[in-house]
Structure 1
Amino acid sequence: MYENTVFFRTFAADCISPFKINFMSYQFAKYATHYRNLTYLGVPIIIGQLGNIVLSFADTLMIGHHSTQELAAAAFVNNMFNLVIIFALGFTYAVTALVGNLYGQEKTGRIGELMKSAVAANTCMALILVAGMSLLYLNLHRLGQPEELLPLMRSYFLIQLVSLPFVCWFNTFKQFADGITDTRLPMWVLIAGNVMNVCGNWVLIYGKFGFPEMGLDGAGLSTMASRIMMTVVMATIFFFSKRYKEYHKGWQQGKINRTDFRQITSIGLPLALQMGMETAAFSLSSLMVGWIGTTALAAHQVMLTISQLGYMIYYGLASAVAVRVSNFMGQRDYEAVRRNVTAGFHLVLLLAVVTSVPIFLLRNSIGGLFTDNAAVTSMVSLTVIPFMVYQFGDGLQCNYANAMRGIAYVKPLIWIAFIAFFIVSLPLGYLLGIQLGYGLVGIWFAFPFGLTTAGVLYYLYYKKGLRQIEAR
C-alpha cells in the first residue's frame, strides 16, 4: 500500500508540477532549459513526422476520391506494412541511443565505426522483413478480406514490398543524424521526399502529363520512388559532405564487428518488438474491421490517418527526449536525465490538447475530406470519440518508452507491450467490436485501455531502470 501511494504521488507530481500558479518559481525554472532544448531538437523531428502525415493524408484523400474500393484495399495493405515499417523503425532506434551516448562523450570517430555495423544490422533486418511479408503475400486470400479487393491488394502489396529495404536504410541514417542532434537534415529530406510523393500521386493516380491512369498502383509507385530518393540523399550526405567528414573517416577506418552488431541487436530488437506490438494493436485490428465490411474498413483507414497526426507529433517530441537522455547518459548526468524526461512529458501533454481538440470539433465533417461516401463519413465521426479518450495514454507511453530507450533499459519494453496490446487491447477490441456487436467504434474503444496500461508500466520501469544504472 505504501509503495502504491508513493507511486501515485510521484506520478502526479511529474504530471502537474510545472502547471502551478507561480510560473516564475523554482519548479518552472529548473525545467525551462529542457523545454527550450527539447523544442529546438523536437520541432524539426515533428515537422518531418508531419510531412509523413501530410503524405498519408494526401495518399488517402487522392485514393479515396478515385475509388472507395481502392481506399479499402489501401487500408488493409498499408496497415500490414505499417506494422513491419514501425518494427524496422524501432530496430533503428538503437542507433539513436548508441550514437547519442557516444556523442555525449565526443567520440566522433567511434560513431562512424558504429554506423558500419548499424547499416549491416539493418540490412539483415530488411531481408528478414521482406521474406516475412512475401509469405504474407502468398496467403492474402486466407485472411478473410472482401473478395473483390484481392486483385487491388496484390499489385499494391508487391510495389510496397520492393521499397521496404529503402525504408530501413533511410531510417538508419536518420537516427544517426538525430543522435548527433542534427535533426534538421532528415527534416528537409523528408519534406522533399513527401513533396515528390504527393506530386507523383497526382500524376500517376489520375494519369497526368501523358502517364496512364494507374489508381492505387500509381500511389504505390510514387511512394517507392520517394523512398529511394530519400535514402540516396541521406547516404550521399553521410559519405561525401564536409560536415560529416569525421564520421565518414571513422566509417572507413572501422569495420563491422560482433560487439557493435550484438549491441545494436540487443537494444534494437526489444525496441522493434515494443513498437511492433503497439502498431499491431492498430494494424491487426484491420483484420477484424475487414470482417465487418468494406465501409468500416474505409472508415478505419481514414481514422488511422487522422490518429497518426497525434502519434507522430508526440513521438517526434519524445524522440527528442530520447536523444537528450542518451547525451546526458554519456555524460553521466542523471539529474539532467530526470528533468529532461519530466519536461518532455509536460510538453507532450500540451501537444495532446493542441492536436486533439480541433479534430474533435471537426468530427462531423473531417471524414468528408477523404471520401464522398456519407456512410464512411458518419462512421469516422463516431470513431473520433475513442480517439479523444486515448490521447493521454498515448502521450504517456510515447514519452516514457523513449525515456527507456534513451537510458538503454529496453528489455522490459517487450513484455509490457505484449501485456498492453496483446492481452488488453486486441482481445478487448474483439470482444467489444465483434462479439458484442459494437463494430468499428467498439474496436477503437479498446485502444485507450492498451495505451494507458503501457504508459503507466513504462513510467514505472523507467524509474526502476534509472535507479539501477545510478547504483552501479
Structure 2
Amino acid sequence: MHLTNYTKEFKYNWKLAAPVMLGMLGHTFVSFVDNIMVGQLGTAELAAVSLGNSFMFIAMSLGIGFSTAITPLIAEADSAKDFAKGKSSFKHGLFLCTVLGVLLFLMVFFAKPLMYLMKQPIEVVELAIPYLNFVAFSLIPLIIFQGFKQFSDGLSMTRSPMYATLLANIINIILNYLLIFGKFGFPEMGIVGAAYGTLVSRIVMVWYLWFLLKSKEKSKAFVTNIKFFVLNKVMLKKIINLGAPSAMQMFFEVAIFTAAIWLSGLLGKNPQAANQIALNLSSMTFMVAMGLSVASMIRVGNQKGLENYSELRRIAFSIFLLGIILATCFAIMFFVFNETLPKLYVDFDDAENLIDNTEVVGIASKLLIAAAFYQISDSIQVLVLGALRGLQDVKIPTIITFISYWLVGFPISWFLGKQDAYGSFGIWLGLLAGLTTAAILLYIRFNYLTKKLILSNKITDK
C-alpha cells in the first residue's frame, strides 16, 4: 500500500490528538512547575515531591486507566447515533469514577506510613508526608474530571478538556508562586504550598469542564439532568469489565516507573532527585504519544461501530506512523540536550547545595540517554494499546503489560540498578527492556486481531 494512504490521515489525526496532548501535557506541566519551583528549595525537597508523587502516580494510573473505558463506548454510540446508549455509558462511567476517586484518596492517605518501611532517606519522608495529605485529596476532583474528559474525547470534542486543563495550570502556577515562597503577604509554606496549588486547580478544572460541556449543543443533553443514583447493573458491569483491565494495564506500566523512583531512593537523595528530573522530562514527551493514543482509541472505536475493519486498520497504522516520527524527534532532542535540560531544575547560584546540584545534573544527563532510546518503544506500546482499547480488547493486553513490565523490565532494573552495578542508569535499562517487550507483543496482538476481523467480515459478505 502506498505511503500516502497513511500520511493523508496525519492532518485529521493531529487535529483530534493535539488538544488531548495539550491537556495531557497540562497535567504533566503541573508536575513540571512543582518540580522547578520546589527544586529551588533544595534537593531533599525535590526528592520529597518525587516520593510523594510516586504514591499519587500509582493511584492516578488506576483512576485514569479505569476512566478510559468510557471513550470507546461513547465513540461507538456516537458513530451509531445512539443517544440513549451514550448517555447511559457516560452516567455510569461518571458514577464509577466518583466512587473510585474517593477510594483512591483513602488508599493513598492511609498508605503514608509505608514510606518509613521503604528505606527512603528519613529527611525526604518527613517532608513528603504533609505534602501528600493535600495532594491525595486532589485525586477526587481529578478522577471525576477524567470521567468528563473521556466522555468529551469519545464525542471527538477534544478541545474542551484542553481548555479546562490550561486554566488549571495557570491557577496552579500562580498559587505555587504565592504559597511556596510566601509572596504578596501569603504564608511561606514550602512544598505544602505546591500541594494546595494542585488541589485548588483540580477543583476548578472539573467545574470549568462541566460548564463548557453544558454550553455546547452536542454535549448539553448528556451532562444535564443526570439521574446519578438510578443505575443499571448491566451497564455498570460492562464498564467495570472494560475499565478494570484498562486500569491494570496503566497500573503495571506506571508502577514500574514508580519502582524506579523507590529503587533510586535506595541509592540516596541525589540519585532520587535526578531520577525525578529525567522522569518528568520523558513523561512530557510521553503525553504527546498519549494524545495520539486517545485519537487511536476514538477513531478505531468509530470504525468498530461502522464495522469497517479494513479502514480501521489503515487509520490505526497512520497513527502509529505519525507517533514513530514524533518519537524519533524527541529521541534526537534528548541526545542533543541531555546535559542542558536537567539544569532547568536546579539552582547553580546556590553555593550551599552546589555539590549536590552538580551531582544531580550529572546523573540526570546520563538517564536522558536511556530515555532517548526508549522514546520509540514507549510511543508504539501506548499507541497500539489505544487502538486495542478502541476494539474493546482489554484482557490479553493486560496480561501482556504485566509480563513486559514485571517479568522482563523490573528484574533487569533490580539487578542492574544496584550501587555496585550500573546504579540509576541500570534502573532505566530495565525500563527500556520492559517498554520494548510491550511494544512488540501488543503490536503482534493488534495485527492478529485486525486481520482476523477483516477475514471474518469477508466470509460474512460472501
Q: Under a length normalisation based on structure 1, what TM-score does the superposition of the two structures give?
A: 0.91
- Residue 429 of structure 2 is aligned to residue 445 of structure 1: yes
Offset at residue 132 of structure 1 (A):
2.2
Q: Which residue of 1 aligns with 2:267?
A: 292
Q: How do 1:38-77 residues align onto structure 2 when only pairs under 5 Å count? A: 38-77=13-52
Inter-partner Cα distance in structure 2 for 1:95 and 1:318: 14
Conservation of the 8 A alpha-carbon contact between 2:160 and 2:212: no
Conservation of the 8 A alpha-carbon contact between 2:328 and 2:376: no
- Residue 372 of structure 2 is aligned to residue 388 of structure 1: yes
- Residue 412 of structure 2 is aligned to residue 428 of structure 1: yes
Offset at residue 52 of structure 1 (A):
2.7
Residues 334-357 of structure 1 deviation map (CA, whole Å, 9 limit, x = unaligned): 111101110011000111122232
Inter-partner Cα distance in structure 2 for 1:209 and 1:191: 24
Offset at residue 155 of structure 1 (A):
0.3
DSSP 3-state at the match of 2:9 = helix
- The equivalent position to 2:63 in structure 1, one of 78, 88, 110, is 88
- The equivalent position to 2:99 in structure 1, one of 100, 109, 124, is 124
Conservation of the 8 A alpha-carbon contact between 1:108 and 1:246: no
- The equivalent position to 1:369 in structure 2, one of 344, 360, 372, is 344
Q: Which residue of 2 aligns with 1:236?
A: 211
DSSP 3-state at the match of 1:210 = coil
Conservation of the 8 A alpha-carbon contact between 1:119 and 1:172: yes
Cα distance change of structure 1 residues 469 and 253 upon mapping to structure 2, 3 Å threshold: farther
Cα distance change of structure 1 residues 204 and 253 upon mapping to structure 2, 3 Å threshold: closer
- The equivalent position to 2:198 in structure 1, one of 219, 223, 230, is 223
Q: How do 1:217-366 residues align onto structure 2 when only pairs under 5 Å count? A: 217-239=192-214, 241-248=216-223, 251=226, 255-366=230-341
Inter-partner Cα distance in structure 1 for 2:194 and 2:71: 31
Cα distance change of structure 1 residues 173 and 394 upon mapping to structure 2, 3 Å threshold: same
The letter of the residue matching 2:398 is I
Bigger drift between 431-440 and 116-125 goes to 431-440
Unaligned runs of 5+ in 1: 1-25
- The equivalent position to 1:110 in structure 2, one of 80, 85, 89, is 85
Conservation of the 8 A alpha-carbon contact between 1:407 and 1:466: no
Conservation of the 8 A alpha-carbon contact between 2:30 and 2:198: no
Inter-partner Cα distance in structure 1 for 2:143 and 2:7: 36
The letter of the residue matching 1:137 is K
Residues 208-227 of structure 1 deviation map (CA, whole Å, 9 limit, x = unaligned): 11101111000010001000
CA RMSD of superposed structures (Å): 1.8
DSSP 3-state at the match of 1:27 = coil
Offset at residue 447 of structure 1 (A):
1.1
Offset at residue 428 of structure 1 (A):
0.6
The letter of the residue matching 1:219 is A
DSSP 3-state at the match of 1:106 = coil
Inter-partner Cα distance in structure 2 for 1:101 and 1:250: 22
Inter-partner Cα distance in structure 2 for 1:27 and 1:466: 19
Conservation of the 8 A alpha-carbon contact between 1:76 and 1:286: yes
Q: How do 1:120-159 residues align onto structure 2 when only pairs under 5 Å count? A: 120-159=95-134
Bigger drift between 227-236 and 291-300 goes to 227-236
Q: Which residue of 2 aligns with 1:14?
A: none
Conservation of the 8 A alpha-carbon contact between 2:327 and 2:375: yes
The letter of the residue matching 2:342 is G
Conservation of the 8 A alpha-carbon contact between 1:110 and 1:250: no
The letter of the residue matching 1:416 is I
Offset at residue 194 of structure 1 (A):
0.7
Offset at residue 124 of structure 1 (A):
2.4
Q: Which residue of 2 aligns with 1:460?
A: 444
Residues 35-61 of structure 1 deviation map (CA, whole Å, 9 limit, x = unaligned): 222111011111222223332221111
Cα distance change of structure 1 residues 436 and 403 upon mapping to structure 2, 3 Å threshold: farther
Conservation of the 8 A alpha-carbon contact between 1:109 and 1:247: no
Inter-partner Cα distance in structure 2 for 1:320 and 1:163: 27
After the TM superposition, list the runs of 4 or more consecutive aligned residues in structure 1 that deviate by more than 6 angstroms.
none
Conservation of the 8 A alpha-carbon contact between 2:331 and 2:373: no
- Residue 161 of structure 2 is aligned to residue 186 of structure 1: yes
Conservation of the 8 A alpha-carbon contact between 2:330 and 2:375: no
Q: Which residue of 1 aligns with 2:351?
A: none
Inter-partner Cα distance in structure 2 for 1:273 and 1:429: 21
